[in-house]
Amino acid sequence: MNRMHFTVAKSFGRLQLVPEPNGLRLYYVPIVNGELSADAIGACDVLVPIQAVGGLWATARAFLYGVESLDENVIIRDTEGDVLVKLYRDKPKGAQGTLSGEEISWLRIVTGRSEEERRRIKLGPRDLLCIELACNAVLTLSASPLFQQPTENGLSSTLQPAEHAEPHRLNS
């Protein structure tokens, strides 16, 4: 990957979080027989649109700092089917439904009905920090004058189209 990205590496696969001006690209590659396999079933390349990045950022930040927050669900409509990106944590384990600090955070990416297309990634503090920083980088990039184009009245307000403007999947 030749641009800034954050990596969440697990024993079953690697998720790269790639900030783009139009959103956050989630590039997941499963590990098959001990090797990364971009051609394997379950590999995916999904763009979370900029409109949903702020919610992911706020939820990751809340989970990271152990404060109350609802789950974040992003549904991306695609011609090949819907994609679900869900950032959630276990139910509170404290007295009377309060957070105890023992709750586990998860990222779920669902691109289809098969088990390989339903990825669930357990997130530690470092992983949540990667999501928070990647989302923050998207927000910074989207506001950068380098990615703005002038409008008829001379104000810069819209983003230039990204290389891959529509969310898409690999091998799904």
pLDDT for res 7: 95
Q: Which tokens in the block code for residue 102?
A: 């023992």
Q: How far apart are CA 25 and CA 83, in angstroms?
A: 13
pLDDT for res 1: 55
152 within domain boundaries: no
As a dihedral over the C-alpha atoms of residue 69, residue 144, residue 123, residue 40, rounded to 10 degrees, the angle is 130
pLDDT for res 136: 95
92 within domain boundaries: yes
pLDDT for res 26: 96
129 within domain boundaries: yes
155 within domain boundaries: no
60 within domain boundaries: yes
113 within domain boundaries: yes
**Furthest-apart CA pair in the chain: how many Å?**
58
Q: Is residue 53 within a helix (H) or strand (E), and if so which, with residue range? A: helix 50-64
What is the domain count for the chain? 1
| Amino acid letter for position 128 | L
Helices H / strands E in the chain, number of each = 2, 11
Residue 25 sits in a domain whose CATH number is 2.30.31.10
Contact between 30 and 37 (Cβ < 8 Å): yes
pLDDT for res 163: 43
Q: Which structural domain, as residue segments, surrounds residue 15?
A: 6-143
pLDDT for res 20: 95
pTM for the model? 0.80
12 within domain boundaries: yes
104 within domain boundaries: yes
Q: How far apart are CA 156 and CA 145, in angstroms?
A: 8
Consecutive sets of 10 residues in the chain, 172 residues long: mean pLDDT of each? Answer: 85 96 95 93 93 95 92 89 94 87 93 90 96 95 75 48 42 40
Torsion over CA: 142, 58, 86, 39 (sign) = positive
pLDDT for res 156: 46
